[in-house]
Amino acid sequence: ELKKQGLEILTGMKIQESRIKDGLVTLRGVSLQRKSSFEYSGEKVLTAAGRRPNSEKIKEGLPELDLDEAGFVKVNEYMETSQENIYAIGDLVGGKLLAHKASHEGIVAVENACGNRMSMDYRAVPLSVFTEPEYACVGLTEEEAREQYKDDVRIGKFPLRACGRALTMGKTEGFVKIIAREEGEILGAHILSHCASEMLPEVTLALKHGMKASELSSVIHAHPTLSESIREAALSVQNRAIHILNLTHS
């Protein structure tokens, strides 16, 4: 979809120099794949390269906390650090640097600090990218699933162009993809669609509670809705999709 909009995506590019001249930003560097130099110019540069922890600050006035190689504070599934009664959450502990992940880690930490026992389940942390169409995902990618489960992986995929609601909205770009094991356990989901971030929680819930594709597909969805695509993708895992041709996706 990005290519249709005239966007070119380049990966493995190392930026070595940037200059501003005549209202344009010029980037120069080396392609790590082609082993050749490159030069590109544009009106703006957006950098989204993540963050590095400022771990030295937390050491002031606190007992020594164990850090990982990247400088993030080490915690267990209960958000406990290496020091008793000291908890850490959010970007400080690494992983996906997301506000909703940090918020839930805070809930886990408080529950445990108050004497309850609650663990953090990182399998069920969703991620959304607010492009148009939106992209949202949870759990494993297909590559990760095949690396972990080898041939015990099935893929269900449903295109938005076969969804009635997407057709009426004129938003037919994208698809819903569900990754599951042979017996149906849901391992991950990837959605490229208008309102993908709003569609994902249903699959996140299914993944968190160990549901199978057959259980997810048994849920009745209102028609016409975008969320019907989730049911169709779950049916596709089982080669039982209704509105597309069923192919083997193992």
Candidate list 104, 221, 223, 243, residue with the active-site label: 223
Token code pair at residue 92: 């400080």
Helices 196-208 and 228-237, packing angle to 10 deg: 50
The reply to whether 209 belongs to the active site is no
Question: Which residue, chain included where needed, has tokens 């590109």?
Answer: 40
**Amino acid identity, position 58:** I
Burial classification of residue 27, based on how many CB atoms lie within 10 Å of its CB (0-12 exposed, 13-18 middle, 19 or more buried)? middle
Integer angstrom CA distances of residue 48 from 53, 130, 250: 15, 14, 35
Q: Known catalytic residues?
A: 223
